[in-house]
């Protein structure tokens, strides 16, 4: 089998502190992965390594059988799109201009966006409910509105892989479900791959095919939701007591907690 990502004994240190150590993980195409773990366990660092923003201090990361760091930046932008947890921009670009940035990897240098690029932009902004503020400056939007624009930019990129780093943290539940539905639909119908850092375990169980539990910079458990989402793993990773059961309304495994 040709794996999408192969991460082998990767380590990463930040300011002499070990963030990831001997981290190994294999991911395949056409799967919705959820990355779950306590604060500070290295989830966002892993995303930074997978997008090529950082390089491992040891070990390696391969994408489609080649070392990730050998891909030219523009080629990698056609392969992997990122929705970061926080997006800061100080320049007064309109929302429409920011979404069009997602098309840049597909536009020749010095060329103007084509009719197809504009069609994709309009379609994506309609799907993400961002057309209403297409001409408003990104600096004037609320946190949730800005996050939806950044999500639209990533979808406009039309990459095979979509990385979501707590991408719904600023969204209300309506837009959170809309965003995750859109991601899941692309996995189901287009064989896209979604790799999402998520804090809400129940939403992860509802949308993801497989879960990756991280703890202290390593993989604590990885596999299909029904296999790895259980009371023992939650107790080990988060030190919480819970009850894990199938919920007939959501048609998914869900977690129930109680007060200490």
What pLDDT is attached to residue 172? 93
Residue that has been written with the tokens 């080649």 in this structure: 66
What pLDDT is attached to residue 251? 96
Q: Which H or E element spans position 143?
A: helix 143-157
Q: Within a domain: residue 52?
A: no
Q: Within a domain: residue 243?
A: yes
Q: Distances from the Cα of 227 to the Cαs of 38, 57, 115, 203, in angstroms?
A: 20, 32, 46, 16
Q: Which H or E element spans position 33?
A: strand 32-36
Query: Could you tell me if 57 and 13 are in contact, meaning their C-beta atoms sit under 8 angstroms apart?
Result: yes
What pLDDT is attached to residue 146? 93
- 146-86-49 Cα angle (round to 5): 130
Q: Within a domain: residue 241?
A: yes
CATH of the domain at 231: 3.40.50.300
What pLDDT is attached to residue 1? 57
Task: Round to whole Å and give the CA distance between 19 and 3.
Answer: 25
Q: Within a domain: residue 26?
A: no
What pLDDT is attached to residue 259? 81
Quick: pLDDT tens for 56-110.
Answer: 999 999 999 999 999 999 999 999 999 998 777 778 899 999 999 999 999 988 8
Range of the domain at 95: 33-40+74-257
Q: Whole-prediction pTM value? A: 0.95
DSSP assignment string, 175-196? HHHHHHHHHHHHHHHH--EEEE
Given a cut of 50, the residues of the chain with pLDDT beneath it are: none
CA-based radius of gyration for the chain: 19
Q: Within a domain: residue 126?
A: yes
Looking at the 3D structure of the chain, how many domains does it have?
Answer: 1
Strand-pair category, 210-215 with 218-224: antiparallel
């Amino acid at each position: 089998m040709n794996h999408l990502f192969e991460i082998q004994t990767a380590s990463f240190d930040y300011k002499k502190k070990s963030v990831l150590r001997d981290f190994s993980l294999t991911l395949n195409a056409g799967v919705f992965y959820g990355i779950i773990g306590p604060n500070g366990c290295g989830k966002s660092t892993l995303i930074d390594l997978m997008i090529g923003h950082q390089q491992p201090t040891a070990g390696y990361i391969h994408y489609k059988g080649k070392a990730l760091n050998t891909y030219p930046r523009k080629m990698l932008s056609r392969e992997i799109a990122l929705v970061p947890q926080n997006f800061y921009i100080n320049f007064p670009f309109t929302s429409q201009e920011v979404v069009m940035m997602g098309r840049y990897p597909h536009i020749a240098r010095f060329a103007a966006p084509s009719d197809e690029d504009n069609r994709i932009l309009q379609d994506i902004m309609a799907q993400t409910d961002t057309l209403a503020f297409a001409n408003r400056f990104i600096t004037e939007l609320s946190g949730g509105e800005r996050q939806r624009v950044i999500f639209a930019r990533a979808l406009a990129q039309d990459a095979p892989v979509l990385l979501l780093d707590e991408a719904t943290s600023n969204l209300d539940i309506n837009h959170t479900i809309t965003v995750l539905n859109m991601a899941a639909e692309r996995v189901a119908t287009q064989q896209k791959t979604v790799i999402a850092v998520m804090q809400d375990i129940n939403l992860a169980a509802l949308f993801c095919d497989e879960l990756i539990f991280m703890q202290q910079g390593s993989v604590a458990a990885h596999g299909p939701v029904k296999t790895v989402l259980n009371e023992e793993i939650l107790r080990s990773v988060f030190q919480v007591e819970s009850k894990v059961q199938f919920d007939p309304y959501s048609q998914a495994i869900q977690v129930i907690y109680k007060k200490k």
